[in-house]
Amino acid sequence: MKNRNIFTGLLISISILISLASFEVAARYNLPDFTELVEEHADAVVNISTSKQTEVKRGLPPGMDFPEMPEGSPFGEFFEKFFGEHGGKGGDEFFNSRSLGSGFIISNDGYVVTNHHVVKGADEIIVKLSDRRQLVAEMIGSDPRSDIALLKLEGDDFPSVKLGDSDAVKVGQWVLAIGSPFGFDASVTAGIVSAKGRSLPSENYVPFIQTDVAINPGNSGGPLFDLDGKVVGINSQIYTRSGGFMGLSFAIPIEDAMDVVDQLKTNGYVSRGWLGVYIQEVTRELAESFGMEKPTGALVAKILEDSPAQDTDLQVGDIILNYNNDEVKNSASLPPLVGRTRVGETVKLKIMRNGKTKTVKLEIGQLPDKDQSLVNKVTPEEKVEDSVFGLVLRPLTDEEMESLELENSGLLVLDAQNGVAKNAGIRKGDVIQMINGEPVETVKAFTALMEGLPEGKFISILVQRSHGPEFLAMRIPEKE
């Protein structure tokens, strides 16, 4: 017994030493304690469930007849239940589909912010509070482009969050998420900010905050807190191959979200600024072709008709370096800057053209309800005119120009054989419009331009494709 007491005492002593060591490590590395933050702000985070009535058609597939069953057969009842009497159309049947998400209360009078995709198409939205109350929410407005929705609860004196400054968020700082992953209410996860200003393929107007906070289905729409207990983002998306968390989470910056919220509350819809240009990334090769020291800015690949940019000095091939004194580090950073700008405001663009910088002013227009798009690529008749650098080319016809909505003619690539042009990415069906800023309408002009270019250097080639215009960089081969 005495030995057992000694052993027990030893275990207790070891446990105390481990606890003290853990505390010392936490203190030494300034690891945060989130308990006070959660206790103070968790009540303002809500669970959101939605229901949507979905119509299901009953009846046998076309060409199938209802089988004859003995009178009173249970199989007859089965077929009638699922396929309708005698296998006819069977009528319509409805069932409620449900989804779960998170949200947070931004004001004491019951305004709730969540993601658009959480409440999209819902017939009824139920908000469950931490005190177990379940309230039906009114949809004030929703914006698919930013994935933000604004709801309203009847009543007052609701707990609410404090809003922070997402622009002041720094990479590496601690952040915390509260939400309902997989329906587990008030789940808390923490991590750090991994990056800022992330652009995702499906989102052009949101400069996402990337974190390694564990976010799973059901967390969408929930708040991302800083250590001061202020909301700096709205958890919106994850990158996953498994359907669950893999270390990459994305939150909408609170400044961008609140701009949308204010417009939804005031107008019921969101208007965004619009330049009316197609842009693309400046690669290292393209930067060299434009005489730049490093790749930066947004390259203008097309100017749309009836757009704010059309009546200005902006040109295809210009590189936008600065937007209203904000640096445009890459093409992804420009759309959020433009989207935030109020319609009718005059802005200044610092651009690079032919190796020199200049300033262009224009008045911002309103982004159309539907994005501008180009028509599909035409299939021309096979009429070979000439071959240059492995490219089989011919000029466009007037009908093809009209179909592609092109102001200037170009050269249709009928074939791209092995060589420097194919290596640069030029492929069959492309329409070559410009070489190093010079328009080309004939194969003769194309050949002449190529012959006068410096050997071993990159040049820019503007091509038109089914999805829109794109600049490519091609290295001119050195003569043997």
Boundary residue ending a domain (331, 366, 401):
366
Q: Which of 143, 147, 226, 318 is catalytic?
A: 147
For 145-155, write each residue's pLDDT tens digit. Answer: 999 999 999 99
Range 338-356 average pLDDT: 92
DSSP 8-state class, residue 330 = S
**Are residues 138 and 48 part of one domain?**
yes
Mean pLDDT of the region 52-60? 59
Domains held by the chain: number? 4
153-191 residues labelled b (16+ CB within 10 A) or e (exposed): beeeebbbbebbebeebeeeebbbbbbbbeeebbbbbbb
More confident residue, 226 or 383: 226
pLDDT for 454 equals: 75
- β-sheet bridge partners, residue 370: none
Residue 43's Cβ-side half-sphere holds a number of Cα atoms within 13 Å equal to: 12
pLDDT tens per residue, range 245-276? 888 999 999 999 999 999 999 988 898 899 99
The pLDDT of residue 68: 58
Q: Which long-range contacts (CB under 8 A, 24 or more apart) does 334-337 make?
A: 334/279, 334/298, 335/199, 335/204, 335/205, 336/204, 336/205, 336/206, 336/207, 336/256
> Where is the domain boundary, 305, 336, 366?
366
Question: Is the distance from CB of 116 to CB of 107 less than 8 angstroms?
Answer: no
- In the DSSP assignment, the letter for residue 315 is -
Top pLDDT among 47 and 375 is at 47
To the nearest 10°, the Cα dihedral for 175, 178, 182, 184?
140
Give the tens place of pLDDT for each residue, 279-327: 999 999 999 988 899 999 999 998 988 899 998 999 999 999 999 999 9
Pairing, β 162-163 against β 230-238 = parallel
pLDDT-wise least confident of 39-48, 76-85, 435-444, 445-454:
76-85
**Residue 52 pLDDT more than 80?**
no
Q: Let me know if 147 is a catalytic residue.
A: yes
For the question of residue 13 being annotated catalytic, the response is no
**Which residues 6+ apart lie within 8 Å of 232 measured at CB?**
164, 165, 166, 169, 175, 209, 224, 225, 226, 251, 253, 254
The pLDDT of residue 382 is: 36
Are 190 and 177 within 8 A, CB to CB? Answer: yes
Closest CA to 131 of 47, 19, 27: 47
pLDDT at 392: 83
**pTM exceeds 0.75 for this model:** no
377 inside domain: no
Domain check: are 146 and 49 in the same one?
A: yes
Whether residue 225 is contained in a domain is answered as yes
CATH of the domain at 99: 2.40.10.120
Residues 195 and 257 grouped into a single domain: yes
Whether residues 49 and 148 share a domain: the answer is yes
71 has pLDDT over 60: no
Determine the average pLDDT of the residues in 415-441. Answer: 84
Domain that includes residue 414, residue range? 386-475
Whole-angstrom Cα distance, residue 368 to residue 348?
22
Structure tokens at 267: 């107008």
Pairing assessment for the beta strands 111-114 and 148-152 based on DSSP bridges: antiparallel
Higher pLDDT, 453 or 302: 302
pLDDT at residue 202 in the model: 66
43, 117, 212, 259: which is the annotated catalytic residue?
Answer: 117
SS (H, E, C) 4-67: HHHHHHHHHHHHHHHHHHHHHHHHHCCCCCCHHHHHHHHHHEEEEEEEEEEEEECCCCCCCCCC
404/108: higher pLDDT: 108
CATH number of the domain that residue 296 is part of: 2.30.42.10
Q: Do 444 and 416 reside in the same domain of the chain?
A: yes
Q: Answer yes or no: do 263 and 167 share one domain.
A: yes
More confident residue, 364 or 91: 364
In contact, 231 and 225? CB cutoff 8 Å: yes
The closest alpha carbon to 99, from 74, 81, 112, 117, belongs to 117
φ, ψ (nearest 5 deg) of residue 131: -85, 15
Beta strand 298-303 pairing with 273-274:
unpaired
The answer to whether residue 62 sits within a structural domain is yes
| Same domain, yes or no: 257 and 190 | yes
Of 73-87, 343-357, 386-400, 446-460, least confident by mean pLDDT is 73-87
The pLDDT score that the predictor gives to residue 18 is: 58
Residue 346, both tokens:
């005059």
Tokens of residue 292, six digits: 């730049």
Q: Is the pLDDT of residue 12 over 80?
A: no
Same domain, residue pair 396 and 313: no
Give dist(CA 463, CA 430) in Å, integer.
6
Q: What is the mean pLDDT of the chain?
A: 82
pLDDT tens string 364-391 = 998 887 543 322 223 333 343 445 677 8
Q: Residues 298, 232: one domain? A: no
Residues 125 and 172 occupy one common structural domain? no
More confident residue, 473 or 243: 473
CA gap 432, 450 in Å, rounded: 13
* 220 noted as active-site residue: yes
Catalytic option among 102, 142, 220, 236: 220
Give the model's confidence band at 42: pLDDT under 50 very low, under 70 low, under 90 confident, else very high.
very high
Report pLDDT for 478. Answer: 73
Question: CA–CA separation, 273 vs 437, rounded Å?
Answer: 28
CATH of the domain at 188: 2.40.10.10
Alpha-carbon dihedral sign for residues 285, 291, 295, 298? negative
267, 300, 334 — which closes off a domain?
A: 267
